[in-house]
């Protein structure tokens, strides 16, 4: 009996330690700010969002192989809320952010992937520290409700949300652009 209790206590402490390490209990700060323009290199997808990491990796490694283009920020732009849309109908794009010094190589990239400019825009924004794969799940669990609450309090409609995986800064940024039109968002899907 004492052994079983000790095992349970150890497991609870391990779970709590993991949650503290991954900032599970920290609050989310949501702000409205201007986010810079970015050059997106991506693929269009429909289906489960869980496949977005594979899509980002495909773009990353193909760019590296194509022309030694190194990117350090992956992204996903998610159009549909998985709470209301069947998994097989979820629309999203995923890929990498092209560094400004590589813009002269766009002609070679465009044969393999879609390339578009995501404009500088005002957005509702929050971020979360990336400390490992578990950060992705905890970040989603925390960021989307925080964004949704801010949007509701400020009477804003929830747009598609961009997640940036910024490796140099070890952060996941959640960006809900509030001034892009439906046509602008839809243009990335074509």
* Token digits of residue 187: 């243009």
pLDDT at 87: 96
Q: What are phi and psi of 148, to 5 degrees?
A: -60, -40
pLDDT in tens, 93-140: 999 999 999 999 998 898 899 999 999 999 999 999 999 888 899 999
* Token digits of residue 130: 């990336």
What is the CATH code for 28-187?
A: 3.20.80.10
Strands (DSSP E) along the chain, which ranges? Answer: 31-35, 38-46, 73-78, 91-98, 114-118, 121-129, 161-166, 171-177
In percent, the amount of the chain with pLDDT more than 90 equals 77
Residue spans of the domains in the chain: they are 28-187
pLDDT in tens, 14-54: 676 666 666 666 789 999 999 999 999 999 999 999 999 99
Chain centroid, CA 169 distance in Å: 14
17-29 burial, b for 16+ CB within 10 Å, e for fewer?
eeeeebbeeeebe
């Amino acid at each position: 009996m004492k052994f079983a209790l000790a095992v349970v206590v150890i497991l609870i402490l391990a779970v709590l330690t993991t949650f503290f390490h991954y900032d599970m209990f920290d609050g989310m700060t949501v702000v409205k700010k201007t986010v810079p323009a970015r050059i997106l290199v991506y693929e269009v997808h429909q289906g489960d969002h869980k496949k977005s990491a594979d899509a980002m990796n495909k773009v990353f490694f193909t760019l590296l192989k194509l022309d030694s283009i190194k990117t350090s920020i992956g992204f996903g732009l998610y159009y549909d809320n998985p709470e209301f849309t069947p998994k097989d109908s979820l629309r999203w794009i995923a890929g990498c952010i092209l560094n400004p010094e590589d813009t002269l190589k766009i002609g070679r990239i465009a044969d393999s992937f879609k390339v578009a400019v995501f404009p500088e825009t005002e957005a509702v924004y929050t971020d979360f520290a990336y400390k490992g794969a578990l950060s992705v799940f905890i970040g989603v669990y925390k960021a989307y409700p925080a964004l949704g609450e801010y949007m509701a309090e400020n009477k804003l409609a929830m747009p598609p949300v961009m997640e940036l995986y910024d490796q140099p800064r070890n952060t996941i940024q959640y960006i809900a652009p509030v001034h892009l039109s439906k046509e602008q968002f839809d243009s990335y899907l074509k």
